[in-house]
Amino acid sequence: MNDTADFFGLSVPFLRHLGVKAEMAEGGRSRISLDLRPEMLNSFEVSHGGVIMTMLDVAMAVAARTSKDHVGGVMTVDMSVNFLRAAKGRIVAEGKLLRGGNSLHFCEGEAFDASGELVAKSLGTFKLRRAA
């Protein structure tokens, strides 16, 4: 999986706009990355928190979806994020399925900056969407 914003064969315009790259998604785990650009920074010249939250949300959703190769997709029900430090350069977000049920999946996510330092942690709940 190396295509820009190609997750499970889906085109996601928002992720393509950001330049998010899908790196790995299998067995309840995922990894995505993004090279920060100037328009993604805040007034302190570090990553805007919304960029980090988007990365964590997507990484967790991808991890949730891989557990059963769910064709209907998943929707975020709840998400919490703790920011630990400022992020610069390349951001890597990893998602991990903690527990999957018939309709809800519980995940955790971690985001790392270019130096490999942990910059944020998250927990999320995702609802499996019924296939159309």
Fold of the CATH domain 6-128: Thiol Ester Dehydrase; Chain A (3.10.129)
Looking at residue 117, the DSSP 8-state letter turns out to be -
Tens-digit pLDDT profile for residues 6-48: 555 778 889 989 999 999 999 999 999 999 999 999 999 999 9
**Higher model confidence: residue 85 or residue 4?**
85
pLDDT tens digits, residue range 96-113? 999 998 889 999 999 999
What is the pTM for the complete model shown? 0.91
Instruction: Enumerate residues 6+ apart whose C-beta is below 8 A from 101.
Output: none
Q: Express each pLDDT in 86-97 by its tens digit.
A: 999 999 999 999
Report how far residue 124's alpha carbon sits from residue 3's, in angstroms, rounded to the nearest whole number: 25
Give the residue extent of every domain in the chain: 6-128
Residue 24: name the closest of 44, 41, 43, 3 by CA.
3
Q: What is the mean pLDDT of residues 53-65?
A: 95
